[in-house]
Amino acid sequence: MSVARPTWQRLMLATAAAMVSLLVASWLVGRVLPSAWQEVVQTRWGFLTPASYLVTAACMGLGGALAGHRFLIVAVGLTLAVWIATLSVLAGIAGSASDIAYPLGYLLRTNALSATLSVAAAASGTWLGTLWYTRQTARR
């Protein structure tokens, strides 16, 4: 049985739902979870934020559940866009602080692993959401 391709409207709805849920979930994590669970873990490869990977996977899973496998490219693109915005803000803050100057290379080096894990979380969440979507459409 072949799964029907989602329409552009379905992809746009999934994109909006994933982004809104990502914003709301990120806000809720800061309010609901204990501070010990929100801590940034520093490793020799960079900074990691485990709670954010779970939030990313769940929110992109919602997008995958709404739009199916075609949402994977959107999920990875959205995650990369969020990381580009984050690094741009960090570079702007570091550039304006005269006593603390972090070069862009340092920012990339200390956040590359976290960005990679975020993209992996987005892809795996989308995959799990797509599995759910495929099972639901197969039942109909």
Residue-level pLDDT at 103:
76
10 Å Cβ neighbour count for 80? 14
What pTM was computed for the model?
0.84
Q: Mean pLDDT in each 10-residue stretch from start to end of the chain (140 residues)?
A: 69 96 93 82 88 95 93 96 90 66 79 95 97 85
Q: Where are the domains of the chain?
A: 8-36+46-139
- Residue 46 sits at φ, ψ, to 5 deg, of 140, -170
Residue-level pLDDT at 1:
44
Residue-level pLDDT at 43:
87
Residue-level pLDDT at 59:
97
Residue-level pLDDT at 76:
97
